Amino acid sequence: MRAISCVAPNQLALVEIPRPELKPGWVRVAIRHIGICGTDYHIFEGNFPYFEYPRVIGHELSGTVVDANGADFSVGQPVVINPYLTCGTCPACREGKTNCCETLKVVGVHAPGGMAEEIVMPAANLYPAGELSLRDAAMVEFLAIGAHAIRRTAELKPGARALVVGSGPIGLGVAHFARIAGAEVTVVDAAPDKIAATRELGFATFSPDQLDGAEFAGRRLSGFDAVFDSTGSIRAMNASLFHTRNGGAYTLVGVIKGDLVFPDSEVHRRELTIRASRNAQKADFEDVMAAMRAGRIPTDRLATHATSMDDVPSSMPAWAHDRTGLIKAIVTV
């Protein structure tokens, strides 16, 4: 079957690979759409740690069931694919925190991915897509990361003021689910095209050079109730703490290799709650699907670019070098 392999940094290839073996308790799925994630670009550029080349990439996936293998699915049923492979036995898994399993593997990152004609997955990792389009179903995973960050942030109650730093796809997921939770949402980003796109989505959005202005000060007041960093920038992650109010919360959604440095006096003065938010759980996937069905997520505006499996080796490098206007690119198989 056909698949896209990242053979080496800056080298993608359309390859032929064997059909994956179907194991007991796993289901065979025909892939229909794949979202290209920031992680995929980092892998392509050679900037993702611990990645082993060559590997089939892709983890934002939707498809239709080919062989249910005894599971409670029907042939042809559309499904959303949760790409997180967990052990089920570590303390985190036993507590239901499967998103931070001690041996967690993500397909397309630590295990063979879904940018292929078929994949096999544990039955528990498949969620019926129902009436969602298969294109929209491929966007559930990245939005679930934002939904999870909001669900973890208990301080974000209706009427709370939230600041989201970074308006890439993950940041937009955070912003949308903060708004769904009833928060007043403010966004900061440095890229002019992202600022324009985020404003078009209805969010008050500021560039870094506007943070000393009166309009931002009127939203910030003495600090935001909850601040979310989704930049993956050490400089931004270190600085965003200072936008939280006393007694507020700072949630780190973006991930980067490096050290965060917070002044202890400022953390203590605010009695700040600092938390990390990693990946997503089944409940977050379900929240996203419910929000999509209710028309609360503007999927047509998020899916800005499209390509085919045949064209990925040419289109993905082009987008890696110039992402102007790009929110989410979707591959059709």
- Structure confidence by residue, pLDDT tens digits, 200-235: 999 999 999 999 999 999 999 999 999 999 998 999
Is residue 322 classed as helix, strand or coil in its secondary structure? coil
The dihedral over CA atoms of 238, 256, 119, 68, expressed in degrees to the nearest 10, equals -40
Q: Which CATH number fits domain 2-138+298-332: 3.90.180.10, 3.40.640.10, 3.30.9.10, 3.20.20.70?
A: 3.90.180.10
Asked if 284 contacts 294 with a C-beta cutoff of 8 angstroms, the reply is: no
- 2-138+298-332 and 145-276 in the same fold: no
Query: Which architecture, in CATH terms, is 145-276?
Result: 3-Layer(aba) Sandwich (3.40)
DSSP assigned state of 116: B
**How far is CA 242 from its chain centroid?**
25
Rounded Cα gap, residues 332 and 311, in angstroms: 10
Rounded Cα gap, residues 83 and 26, in angstroms: 13
Asked if 227 contacts 248 with a C-beta cutoff of 8 angstroms, the reply is: yes
> Which of these, 45, 194, 32, lies nearest to 117 by C-alpha position?
32
Sign of the Cα torsion 109, 112, 118, 121 reads negative
pLDDT band at 258 (very low <50, low <70, confident <90, very high): confident
Rounded Cα gap, residues 176 and 173, in angstroms: 5
Asked if 311 contacts 304 with a C-beta cutoff of 8 angstroms, the reply is: no
Q: Domain boundaries in the chain?
A: 2-138+298-332, 145-276
At which residue do the structure tokens 């900037």 appear?
A: 47
pLDDT in tens, 143-191: 999 999 999 998 899 999 999 999 999 999 999 999 999 999 999 999 9
pLDDT at 174: 98
The residue-averaged pLDDT of 244-265 equals 92
pLDDT at 50: 77
The model carries a pTM of 0.96
